[in-house]
């Protein structure tokens, strides 16, 4: 099997869909889907887009270029993600960011004055 075929099959099964169900929903032939999942046929660009959109994953995930199904997932793991922060932690991070931005603004202003 191909990485794309394996991942498409896994996503289809997780969604509780048969090959016939998925093929019908995507407007592709069932035999095409069967061959893709078996690794006997490459996924065409238009099909890749349909699979990615339907399963709400990136094409990079389907192709095996990343193990993260979507971009959002890769951006929320910073110390457990925003839903794990206390209000005190959020206030501290906002204050730190404000200090950092002010420092960058002053450095840029000083660089302009020197030029």
Q: CATH code for 3-74?
A: 1.10.260.40
- pLDDT, tens digit (0-9, with 9 covering 90-100), for 33-78: 999 999 999 999 999 999 999 999 999 999 999 988 887 544 445 5
Q: What is the 3-state secondary structure (H, E, C) of the chain?
A: CCHHHHHHHHHHHHCCCCHHHHHHHHCCCHHHHHHHHCCCCCCCHHHHHHHHHHHCCCHHHHHCCCCCCCHHHHHCCHHHCHHHCCHHHHHHHHHHHHHHHHHHHHHHHHHHHHC
Can you give the residue ranges of every domain in the chain?
Answer: 3-74, 78-114
pTM value is 0.62
């Amino acid at each position: 099997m191909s990485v794309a075929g394996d991942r498409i099959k896994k996503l289809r099964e997780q969604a509780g869909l048969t090959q016939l169900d998925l093929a019908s929903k995507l407007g592709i032939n069932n035999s095409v889907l069967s061959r893709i999942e078996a690794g006997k046929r490459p996924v065409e660009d238009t099909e890749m887009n349909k699979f990615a959109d339907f399963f709400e994953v990136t094409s990079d995930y389907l192709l095996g270029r990343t193990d993260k199904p979507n971009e959002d997932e890769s951006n929320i793991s910073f110390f457990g993600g925003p839903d794990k922060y206390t209000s005190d932690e959020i206030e501290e991070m906002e204050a730190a960011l404000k200090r950092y931005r002010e420092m960058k603004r002053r450095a840029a202003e000083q660089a302009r004055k020197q030029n």
